[in-house]
Structure 1
Amino acid sequence: MGVSERYRDAWEGYWSATSDTPGEAIWDADPALSSVPDSALLLPYADTSLPVVDLGCGNGTQTRYLATRFARGTGVDLSHAAIAHARRADTEGVAEFAQLDLVDAEAVAALHERIGDANVYMRAVIHQSDAEARPAVAAAVTTLLGERGRAFVAELTPDSKAVLQRMAQGPDGPPEKLRRVLDHGLNPVSATEEEVPRLLRAAGLTTLADGDTALAQTAYLPDGTRLDLPARWFVLAATTAVG
């Protein structure tokens, strides 16, 4: 089992049409605005002697930072083109990158078998996944954690959808970075706020800490302020590890 062909092609098309320029992807924020504060929330709960896996790593910007905070870092993404971007950007070889379909339970289990229990970082993956794929995405987190790993998961809330809709309906239409997302058939913020914690619980994950945040983007509002999208974060462990 894997993601739909439509979904796979949408992401492959997006990353194939994206240059190596940092920040060209709307979500490719500087780590100082994303994985740095995110990992500060995770680290009090995590064993840093374990590796970290960045799920939906894209061009690897966050993976490269995370690899400096844990024993080693691995970034995985559905898109082969994204992984090619990530490998080119990692000029110092601080992390490793691999193509992985999170909906493919056997492939996820094989990764866990290879690296052992791991910490997980997942930023805004569930919300844009096809509805039928979301339980498997959450289950992938549980598989990779095993007994010892801990996860940081952040997902956009419906308030973000309203922000993006207002941007798209402006007099000049959506800004170029958002237009590229929409033109490739990607659907941001399609999960409800209640759905995400429900999916996490159903996947066998227990919330150790959570809170509200905003995910920094690389696009700007007409008044020049950076686009920050409302989100919720969770630090998680496998329920079997804390039960």
Structure 2
Amino acid sequence: MSVTERYKEAWESFWEDAPQEPGSVFWDSEPVLTAGLHLALYEPHVTAPDLPLVDLGCGNGTQTRFLAGHCPKVVGVDLSGAALDRAVHADPAKAADYRLLDATDPEQVASLHGELGDANVYVRGVLHQSEPADRQPLMDAVATLVGARGRAFVVELSERAGPVLRALAAQPAGPPPKLAPVFAHGIAPGEVSDVAVLDHVEAAGLTVCSAGDLPLTTTERAADGTRIELPSKWLVVGAAPR
């Protein structure tokens, strides 16, 4: 199985059209407000910090480069070649490696695991921006990559974010400037229920080590100048004990 051509083209065109300036993409907030907060929640549950870390759905690599400063080896993977081109260009020091990967393709995922061995995995907002048929294969990919020793940090918009996004999209003036391109390219965030995320985790043979709620900070601002934050839920997951 692999992602639909429509979905792949949507992400290619999104990254081809997105402005180059830092913070111009709706979810591309500074690492101190995203991966930095997530690491503080994640690290106490990482039992093998020596493992490589895979940033699954790394996009333009903003968080990947930050993670590379805290992990021995980081590999950013994404479906979009246009996104990876940006990630490589923004990382002249080659702090991380970047790979084109369709994470719904078991053969591609198994090949990466065969190369890296068990890995820790960082997943930020991938399921809720995926098509329904792709969500279980994506979580299965997480299970393959973590293997027996790794742990994954998974953060997804909660179902409470859906009404917030719809309200933003329905504003009389239209969606905020940084959110409008997401909808324009046929990407529909905030579509996964909280229970569904847990069902995908269980079906992948993973167990939840820790979980909680944390607002996901965007780069967009409300009319009063405050950052728009979206409700999200985070999980640390690993292989189910035998």
Settle same-fold status: TM greater than 0.5: yes
Residue type of the alignment partner of 1:25:
V
TM-score, length-normalised on structure 1?
A: 0.97
Q: What RMSD over aligned residues (CA atoms) do the two structures have, in Å? A: 0.9
Q: State the one-letter code of the partner of 1:70.
A: C
Q: Are the aligned partners of 2:165 and 2:190 in contact in 1 as well (CA < 8 Å)?
A: no
Q: Which stretch has the larger CA shift, 15-24 or 113-122?
A: 15-24
* 1:94 partner SS: coil
For 2:181, give the aligned amino acid: R
Distance 1:227 1:142 in 2: 32
Q: Deviations over 1:195-217 (max 9, x none)?
A: 00110111011000000111110
2-side partners of 1:193 and 1:50: how far apart?
Answer: 29
Measured against aligned partners, the alpha-carbon deviations of 1:198-242 in whole angstroms (never above 9, x if no partner) come to: 101110110000001111100011111101110100001111xx3
SS at the partner of 1:103? coil
The amino acid of 1:8's aligned partner reads: K
Q: 1:164 Cα shift?
A: 1.1
* Aligned counterpart, 2:81: 80
| Alignment check: 8 A CA contact 2:119 2:151 kept | yes
Residue 20, structure 1, aligned to residue 36, structure 2: no
1:178 match: 179
3-state SS, counterpart of residue 223 of structure 2: coil
Superposition TM-score, scaled by structure 2 size: 0.98
In the TM superposition, 1:1-243 aligns within 5 A as 1-46=1-46, 47-239=48-240, 242-243=241-242
Q: Is the CA contact 1:48–1:69 (under 8 Å) kept in the aligned structure 2?
A: no
Identical amino acids, percent of aligned pairs: 46
- Secondary structure of residue in 2 paired with 1:217: strand
Tell me which amino acid in the other structure corresponds to 1:192: S
Q: Which runs of 4 or more aligned residues in structure 1 lie more than 3 Å from their structure 2 counterparts after TM superposition?
A: none
Is residue 60–residue 86 contact of structure 1 (8 Å, CA) maintained in 2? yes
How many pairs are equivalent?
A: 241
- Structure 2 spans left out of the alignment, 5+ residues: none
Q: Secondary structure at the match of 2:179?
A: helix
Q: Is the 8 A contact 1:153 1:233 kept in 2?
A: yes
Query: For residue 214 of structure 2, what is the amino acid of its counterpart?
Result: T
- 1: CA distance between counterparts of 2:116 and 2:159? 35
User: How far, CA to CA, are the matches of 1:22 and 1:116 in structure 2?
Assistant: 33
